[in-house]
Amino acid sequence: MNLELVLALVIFVVVGVPSIFLALQYLFGLRSSFGRDDSEGSRNPCVVLIPAHNESSIIADTLTSLKSQLQIDDRIVIVADNCSDNTADIGRDFGFEVLERSSDTERGKGYALDFGLQHIAKSPAATVVIFDADCEFLEGSLDVLVRASQRRMRVVQSLYLMKAPKNAPLKIRLAEFAWKVKNQIRPEGQKMLGLSCQLQGAGMAFPWTIITAQSLASGSIVEDLELGLKLSERGEMVDYLPLAGVDSYFPMSDEALETQRTRWEHGHLASIKELIPRFLGALVKGRLRAGLMMLDAMIPPTVLWLMISTLNICVAFVLFLFGYSLLFTLNFVPYLLMVFSLVLVWWIHGRSLVSGKDLFGVLSFILKKITLYKKISKTKEKKWVKTDRG
């Protein structure tokens, strides 16, 4: 076979196919259908499980908001995990169940969740809702989420958005737009394509039989992504439910934002290598849905993927000028489709956050991202690091 053809096909599979998949998510995600309402009728009690590490500055607001949404016999279990502040005391002042956990070696959200589930197992509930200490359910959302999970007997992920505080600088507004694309547009597109939704870390409802069938004890910094993929491999669907909303806010300080972004993106990138054999295995076994979920998880963060795709098309164009046209021919349409669909998403959902006047600032932001990715490539961070919101 012609070497040029082989190279062009390999790059099309590695870069072109994911770009097409992303474009389909973006385009189908623009439909923004809210789905059916499961909110009528009675429901069984739920347990809201909150892992918390030194959250004394914010957990009181979270618990106040959450308490107003509880029904009779609902419970809140707080795991004060390796805390050096009074997070546990605040939880007790609200009258909720508080577990204190301390370990020098087993650190991370996964271990805290597993510890909480072991306690809940003494008196199980029909549904466990995992919620972060720095989030807030929109009015009525807890009830909608739990009802949906119990009616469908499935894992259900709410619409979880992180927002920029008022008068936030461009980089935080860009982060809000990127989060919206990741947690709203793409899950909506996946739903329209008949696919499962990736777990997002907060506002997740699990039937008891499903969550206890999978070990959560892990120090992984992408424990939610990993859990969702394991569920997909087992044939479990995670439903995306935008009718239930969860909000949180990005930290304003540069250091805190950088720590948060580095942790998320480092964890995501570090997981890609491990996902490749699982992706191929799912395809070999004919598990197309699981394979597509793996593919979705393997696509790097938006800005990095744009960099990779743009570099690829630029190299292809140079080769085209020297008479090697296959690479450019195979990859131009996927690249154009991805860029067009992302611009369309920005036009409909992002202009209120990032205006056309911010163009030069966006370019500067992208250039700074290169520094971040260089830093990530040189580190081997695997441990969870808390974002300082002070």
Amino acid of residue 301: P
pLDDT value at 382 more than 80: no
Both structure tokens of 273: 């290598």
How much is the pLDDT for 88? Answer: 95
**Helix, strand or coil, per DSSP, at residue 51:** strand
pTM value is: 0.87
More confident call, 382 vs 331: 331
pLDDT tens profile 206-239: 999 999 988 887 766 678 888 888 999 888 999 9
How much is the pLDDT for 275? Answer: 87
Amino acid of residue 65: S
pLDDT value at 260 more than 70: no
Residue 321: DSSP 8-state:
H
* Backbone φ/ψ region at 82: left (φ over 0), alpha (ψ -120 to 50), beta: left
Amino acid of residue 388: D
pLDDT value at 261 more than 70: no
DSSP 228-276: HHHHHHTT--EEEEEEEEEEEE--SSHHHHHHHHHHHHHHHHHHHHHHH
pLDDT (average), residues 310-336 = 93
Both structure tokens of 363: 């370019």
Phi, psi of 213 (to 5 degrees): -85, -5
Task: Give the rounded distance of the alpha carbon of 125 from its chain centre.
Answer: 26
How much is the pLDDT for 366? Answer: 75
Contacts of 5 (CB under 8 A, 6+ apart): 326
CA distance 205 to 158: 8
Tell me which residue of 295, 277, 304, 282 sits closest to 371, measured CA to CA: 304
Confidence of residue 75 (pLDDT cuts 50, 70, 90): very high
How much is the pLDDT for 274? Answer: 83
CA distance 210 to 155: 8
pLDDT value at 365 more than 70: yes
More confident call, 259 vs 153: 153
CA distance 382 to 370: 21
Strand partners, 51: 79
Confidence of residue 25 (pLDDT cuts 50, 70, 90): very high
pLDDT value at 271 more than 50: yes
pLDDT value at 263 more than 90: no
pLDDT tens profile 164-217: 888 888 888 988 999 999 999 999 999 999 999 999 989 999 999 999 988 887
pLDDT (average), residues 16-42 = 81
Amino acid of residue 233: E
Both structure tokens of 290: 């699981």
pLDDT value at 36 more than 60: no
Angle of CA points 112, 78, 260, to nearest 5°: 60
Domains and CATH numbers, the chain: 3-30+273-378 (no CATH), 46-253 (3.90.550.10)
How much is the pLDDT for 116? Answer: 94
Amino acid of residue 324: Y
How much is the pLDDT for 346? Answer: 94
How much is the pLDDT for 168? Answer: 87
Angle of CA points 105, 111, 113, to nearest 5°: 160
How much is the pLDDT for 302? Answer: 86
How much is the pLDDT for 360? Answer: 77
Q: What totals of helices (H) and strands (E) does the chain contain, helices first?
A: 15, 8
pLDDT tens profile 82-121: 999 999 999 999 999 999 999 888 888 889 999 999 999 9
Strand partners, 207: 127
Residue 72: DSSP 8-state:
T
In 7-110, the DSSP E strands lie at 46-52, 75-81, 97-101
Strand partners, 361: none
Q: Say which residue the tokens 């939880």 belong to.
A: 91
Average pLDDT over all residues of the chain: 87
CB atoms inside a 10 Å sphere around CB 351? 12
CB atoms inside a 10 Å sphere around CB 32? 13
Tell me which residue of 198, 173, 179, 203 sits closest to 62, measured CA to CA: 203
CA distance 133 to 62: 6
Q: Say which residue the tokens 């107003």 belong to.
A: 68
- 284 by Cβ neighbours in 10 Å (0-12 / 13-18 / 19+) ranks as exposed
pLDDT value at 390 more than 50: no
pLDDT tens profile 38-51: 556 789 999 999 99
